[in-house]
Amino acid sequence: MEYFQLKNIPNVKYTRKYSDNIQYGTAGFRTKANALEHVLYRMGLLAVLRSKVKNAAIGLMITASHNIESDNGVKLIDPAGEMLEASWERIATNLVNVEDRNLVSTIKHIIKEENINMSVDAIVITGRDTRESSPTLLNAAVMGIKALYGIVQDFGIVTTPQLHYLVVCTNTKSNYGDPTLHGYYVKLSEAFKYVRQKQINNGQYVAELLLDAANGVGAIAVKEFQKYLGTTLAINIYNDGYGKLNFMCGADFVKVEQVPPVNFHVKRNFRSVSIDGDADRIVYFYVDEYEKFHILDGDKIATLIAEYLKELLKESHLSFQLGLVQTAYANGSSTDYILNVLQIPAVCVSTGIKHLHNKALEFDIGIYFEANGHGTVLFKETVIKTIKEAVTNPERSTNEKEAASKLLNIINMINQTVGDALSDMLLVETILHAKGWDIMEWEKMYDDLPNKQIKMKVYDKSIITTTNVGTQCITPEGLQDAIDEIVSQYKRGRCFVRPSGTEDIVRIYAECENLCDLDKLIKDVASVVY
Ligand code: NG1
Ligand code: ZN
């Protein structure tokens, strides 16, 4: 393409109206929705360039996940479902922040530097959450995509994991699944129903749960799932879209506040779940007969999955290298359990799904979960091939073949393209069903250390910089020493401070052996952050 065809760029409607710089952060660009139109237009342009470079379809998702309704955001999804490559995050940040008069020259520069063949067709697969601002932002992105002659395949309102799935299926030409929403629901629900077969309840396990959908897109997806699941799982949905998005509900609220969501009919000792605003996170919880709240978070989900996979591998006499990837927000007890009881390697990486996903790819079977409930399991192609062979191998015993067949169905139930609240829910339900467990039985796997997370507004969060997967402050000088001094006074104490990559706040996480010490520990640390 000759450069003169860039003459309609920038589009007058989408000029840069804000002078503040914005960063491609933990999950793309996120800020107040009304400051994002030019960002979406430019990300549309960039998605086309990325698609041409990779000669594959690229995803563009409009969401701000668990953030408040007035925020919004955008992220690009690479061809195999991964988050955008780090070097392109820098390109994106630069492109979004340049002056309008430098936009064309910046595009030309990217084309030259990345050696982009502009004659290659570009496909951008778009999706959005239920936020009021999302349609306007989608229009801006589409204008950007069309300005560089890209092809738009819009799937409308979808969950973030559904969009990852659609990108992967489009690029792998049906190897992973059918690139439609129907294909997504069929793939996951058929595998779920097959494992359960005719026996819907088992032991203490009852096939019914309460679900808080955060008033987000997850409510739409769950209702759709219900059609495919039939009577195999009864899901009672609360916060299904009529209330305010993520307001006192959803997985982030329940995990951080450690209380049930609003507008939720709590049933004592009853299995309940909360998903977040774009349905990529899930936590389980229940309230006991003494009104005590119990949370079973991403760590508990990861350990449950790891233990079950280990059992199935043993039963099928298959041997693969299992690994579990966490972040520093993982409860210390979960890491001890993984290392000492499950005897599986546990690796800690920086916050943000891309770090977990990339690390998990290093194992034959890599399980990754953030404590907030965002995670999935990745199986190497060679592993899947071996399991498939085991299912039909006449030299194997019936037991071995059955275990291998269960493994295969579990693989089909998992959205390997990214953490997916609904796929994770089907997986947890399958495991609890297989074990005949209720939620109390599952909780007994290990006891969480008392823990707390708070958000702090500071004048400028960029003053705090960190190292060692976000657990040690480098600046401001002296801050880490002060934190270490406080933490050393608490038994099994651990506390760290890092600036959020998705909100204009600083996060403080603390855990220690005694619940009665926890508030003091976190308050003392908060007082030195000011
Ligand atoms: P930040 O805001 O950078 O802490 C949060 C979550 C991440 C990840 C992203 C994207 C915590 C402590 N942090 O990132 O794990 O999920 O949002 O949604 O939960
Ligand atoms: Zn989310």
Averaged pLDDT, groups of 10, the chain, 530 residues long: 66 85 90 95 98 98 96 96 94 96 95 95 97 97 96 98 97 88 97 86 95 98 97 96 96 96 97 98 98 98 98 96 98 97 97 94 98 97 96 94 95 96 98 97 97 92 94 96 97 96 91 96 93
| Ligand 1 pocket mutation pick from 72, 246, 370, 497 by most atoms within 8 angstroms of CB | 370
Ligand nearest to the CA of 281: 2
Q: How many CB atoms lie within 10 A of CB 181?
A: 18
Question: pLDDT value at position 107?
Answer: 96
Look at domain 298-443 and name its CATH class: alpha beta
Question: pLDDT value at position 526?
Answer: 95
Tell me if 329 CB under 6 Å of ligand 1: yes
The alpha carbon of 138 and the centre of ligand 1 are apart by a number of angstroms equal to 24
Q: Which long-range contacts (CB under 8 A, 24 or more apart) does 431-434 make?
A: 431/304, 431/305, 431/308, 432/205, 432/271, 432/304, 433/195, 433/196, 433/201, 433/202, 433/205, 433/207, 434/195, 434/202, 434/308, 434/406
Question: pLDDT value at position 2?
Answer: 54
Catalytically active residues are: 65
Tell me if 278 CB under 6 Å of ligand 1: no
Residue 168: phi and psi, rounded to 5, are -60, -45
Tell me if 26 CB under 6 Å of ligand 1: yes
Tell me if 421 CB under 6 Å of ligand 1: no
Residue with tokens 């609240």: 421
Which residues make beta-bridge pairs with 83?
77
Look at domain 184-296 and name its CATH class: alpha beta
Tell me if 63 CB under 6 Å of ligand 1: no
The alpha carbon of 501 and the centre of ligand 1 are apart by a number of angstroms equal to 7
| Ligand 1 pocket mutation pick from 500, 503, 508 by most atoms within 8 angstroms of CB | 500
Tell me if 65 CB under 6 Å of ligand 1: yes
The alpha carbon of 372 and the centre of ligand 1 are apart by a number of angstroms equal to 8
d(CA 521, CA 530): 15
Tell me if 300 CB under 6 Å of ligand 1: no
Distance of CA 451 to CAs 12, 330, 348, 497, Å?
50, 10, 18, 14
Atom 7 of ligand 1: nearest residue by CA position = 352
Question: pLDDT value at position 174?
Answer: 63
Distance of CA 364 to CAs 271, 322, 367, 383, Å?
32, 6, 10, 7
| Ligand 1 pocket mutation pick from 372, 376, 420, 504 by most atoms within 8 angstroms of CB | 372
Contact status, residue 35 vs residue 41, Cβ threshold 8 Å:
no
Task: Find out if CATH 3.30.70.1060 is the number for domain 451-529.
Answer: no
Ligand nearest to the CA of 255: 1
Contact status, residue 282 vs residue 420, Cβ threshold 8 Å:
no
Tell me if 507 CB under 6 Å of ligand 1: yes
Question: pLDDT value at position 131?
Answer: 97
**Which among 506, 428, 413 has a CA at the least distance from the CA of 462?**
506
Ligand 2 is an ion; its neighbours by CB within 5 Å are: 65, 276, 278, 280
| Ligand 1 pocket mutation pick from 24, 26, 356, 458 by most atoms within 8 angstroms of CB | 26
d(CA 405, CA 459): 55
d(CA 342, CA 142): 48
The two three-digit tokens of residue 214, written as one number: 């955060």
The alpha carbon of 349 and the centre of ligand 1 are apart by a number of angstroms equal to 13
Atom 11 of ligand 1: nearest residue by CA position = 372
Atom 3 of ligand 1: nearest residue by CA position = 501
- In a 10 Å sphere around its CB, with 0-12 CB exposed, 13-18 middle and 19+ buried, how is residue 289 labelled? exposed
Q: How many CB atoms lie within 10 A of CB 436?
A: 12
Tell me if 419 CB under 6 Å of ligand 1: no
Quick one: which atom of ligand 1 is closest to the CA of 25? 3
**In what helix (H) or strand (E) does residue 509 lie, and over which residues does it extend?**
strand 506-511
The two three-digit tokens of residue 376, written as one number: 């999935």
Q: Where are the domains of the chain?
A: 3-157, 184-296, 298-443, 451-529
**Which among 162, 61, 78 has a CA at the least distance from the CA of 421?**
162
Question: pLDDT value at position 523?
Answer: 96
Ligand nearest to the CA of 508: 1
Domain 3-157 sits in CATH at 3.40.120.10
The residues, ordered by sequence, that sit 6+ positions from 490 with a Cβ below 8 Å of its Cβ are 512, 513, 514, 517, 521
Contact status, residue 198 vs residue 259, Cβ threshold 8 Å:
no
Residue with tokens 């996979």: 309
**Which among 266, 285, 252, 235 has a CA at the least distance from the CA of 422?**
235
Tell me if 27 CB under 6 Å of ligand 1: yes
Quick one: which atom of ligand 1 is closest to the CA of 276? 18
Query: For the CA atoms of the chain, what is the radius of gyration?
Result: 23
The alpha carbon of 64 and the centre of ligand 2 are apart by a number of angstroms equal to 7
The two three-digit tokens of residue 209, written as one number: 């749960």
Same fold, 3-157 and 298-443: yes
**Which among 95, 122, 119, 117 has a CA at the least distance from the CA of 107?**
95
Largest CA-CA distance found in the chain, in angstroms, rounded: 71
